């Protein structure tokens, strides 16, 4: 199949074939990253805007590098130093960026639905880099890429997502993506952050950490999203760590080949102990590396790129 979409807004609306098209294209771009000359001219003459209205390290920088590797012009929009501060709306801001020839707008925003809204009111392609607690599609795609690279086909694989599920766009996007690729998803964490209602998405919900992690092929740890919580959802970080943090003893409950993942930023000593985060069981930095290839693939595809087998010498010079 061909990728036909102009925007990447969420994972929920992607088919399995579309997800695989992104992952296969990313594999080609990962190869490009191993060459001495890591750039391809696939987006030459195009203008990409990084519009981040919420803080980011990994997503913003990897989108910037992805655009550069594709030879696009990249504009990094800093909300704090912009006319947002004078009351300009999001729509007017992006309309002005389009007047400056923006072809692709990558948006991170604290409001769920911001990327969908933009896709309805502007002509540019819109890529969602995280909207509130709703969706973080490129994080889910890079997580899926990393799991498939390490574990092969995800059909029947057991993936446990541990931590703050309720406020996590990463959790929601991962759940959709994993289930579309046939994985079985277990959610675990404090009951206030892992409501039973997630069972309606087809997940298993448990508050028993040993049960959650002992048979998992992959354990994806999530940070507590304090910025989206109106009030504390558990007594203290110390208590969270004591009950749900991944430490050496709890690692011994897991299968020896279970992957330890985390989207970052990591709160060391809270959801994961440093010695595990830095161990060879952890693929946290591999996820970041794969994020670059996945974001190159997404920019390439929303710009009308071809399927990976159709990449020409022009797109991927030897």
Which residues would be at the binding site for ligand CP (CB under 6 A)? 56-59, 130, 139, 263-265
Residue 97 falls in which region: left (phi positive, over 0), alpha (psi -120 to 50) or beta: alpha
CB of 177 or CB of 263, closer to ligand CP: 263
The least distance separating ligand CP from the CB of residue 86, rounded to whole angstroms, comes to 26
β-sheet with 47-52: strand ranges across:
73-78, 47-52, 104-109, 125-131
The least distance separating ligand CP from the CB of residue 268, rounded to whole angstroms, comes to 15
CB of 159 or CB of 284, closer to ligand CP: 284
Cα–Cα distance for residue pair 271/14, rounded to 1 Å:
30
Q: What is the DSSP letter of 196?
A: G
Q: Which of these, 156, 166, 188, 169, lies nearest to 254 by C-alpha position? A: 188
Nearest residue relative to ligand CP (C-beta): 59
The least distance separating ligand CP from the CB of residue 213, rounded to whole angstroms, comes to 21
Structure tokens at 263: 């989207």
CB of 18 or CB of 54, closer to ligand CP: 54
The least distance separating ligand CP from the CB of residue 129, rounded to whole angstroms, comes to 7
CB of 50 or CB of 93, closer to ligand CP: 50
The least distance separating ligand CP from the CB of residue 61, rounded to whole angstroms, comes to 8
The least distance separating ligand CP from the CB of residue 172, rounded to whole angstroms, comes to 13
CB of 18 or CB of 143, closer to ligand CP: 143
CB of 56 or CB of 206, closer to ligand CP: 56
Q: Which residues contact 103 (CB under 8 A, 6 or more apart)?
A: 46, 47, 48, 72, 124, 125, 303
Helix (H, G, I), strand (E, B) or coil at 18: helix
CB of 42 or CB of 218, closer to ligand CP: 218
The least distance separating ligand CP from the CB of residue 188, rounded to whole angstroms, comes to 20
Cα–Cα distance for residue pair 295/141, rounded to 1 Å:
9
Cα–Cα distance for residue pair 144/281, rounded to 1 Å:
17
CB of 136 or CB of 180, closer to ligand CP: 136
The least distance separating ligand CP from the CB of residue 56, rounded to whole angstroms, comes to 3
289 near 144, Cβ under 8 Å?
Answer: no
Which class for 57: exposed (0-12), middle (13-18), buried (19 or more C-beta within 10 A)? exposed
Query: What size, in residues, is the chain?
Result: 318
Which residues partner with 260 through β-bridges? 219, 282
149 near 123, Cβ under 8 Å?
Answer: no
């Amino acid at each position: 199949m061909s990728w036909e979409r102009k925007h990447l807004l969420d994972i929920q609306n992607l088919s399995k074939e579309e997800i695989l098209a992104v992952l296969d294209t990313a594999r080609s771009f990962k190869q490009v990253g191993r060459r001495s000359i890591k750039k391809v001219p696939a987006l030459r003459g195009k203008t990409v805007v990084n519009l981040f209205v919420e803080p980011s390290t990994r997503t913003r920088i990897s989108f910037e590098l992805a655009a550069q590797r594709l030879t696009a012009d990249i504009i990094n929009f800093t909300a704090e130093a912009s006319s947002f501060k004078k009351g300009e709306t999001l729509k007017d801001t992006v309309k002005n960026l389009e007047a400056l020839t923006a072809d692709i707008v990558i948006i991170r925003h604290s409001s769920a639905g911001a990327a969908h809204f933009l896709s309805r009111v502007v002509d540019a392609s819109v890529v969602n880099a995280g909207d509130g607690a709703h969706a973080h599609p490129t994080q889910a795609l890079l997580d899926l890429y990393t799991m498939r690279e390490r574990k092969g086909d995800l059909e029947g694989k057991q993936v446990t997502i541990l931590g703050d599920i309720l406020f996590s766009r990463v959790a929601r996007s991962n759940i959709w993506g994993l289930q579309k690729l046939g994985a079985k998803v277990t959610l675990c964490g404090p009951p206030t952050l892992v409501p039973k209602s997630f069972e309606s998405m087809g997940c298993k919900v448990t508050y028993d950490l040993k049960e959650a992690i002992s048979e998992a092929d992959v354990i994806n740890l999530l940070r507590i999203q304090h910025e989206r919580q109106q009030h504390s959802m558990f007594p203290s970080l110390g208590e969270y760590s004591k009950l749900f943090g991944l430490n050496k003893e709890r690692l011994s409950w897991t299968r020896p080949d279970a992957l330890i993942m985390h989207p970052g930023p990591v709160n060391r000593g809270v959801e994961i102990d440093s010695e595990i985060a830095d161990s060879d069981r952890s693929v946290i930095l591999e996820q970041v590396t794969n994020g670059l290839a996945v974001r190159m693939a997404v920019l390439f595809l929303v710009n009308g790129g071809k399927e990976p087998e159709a990449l020409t010498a022009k797109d991927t010079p030897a």
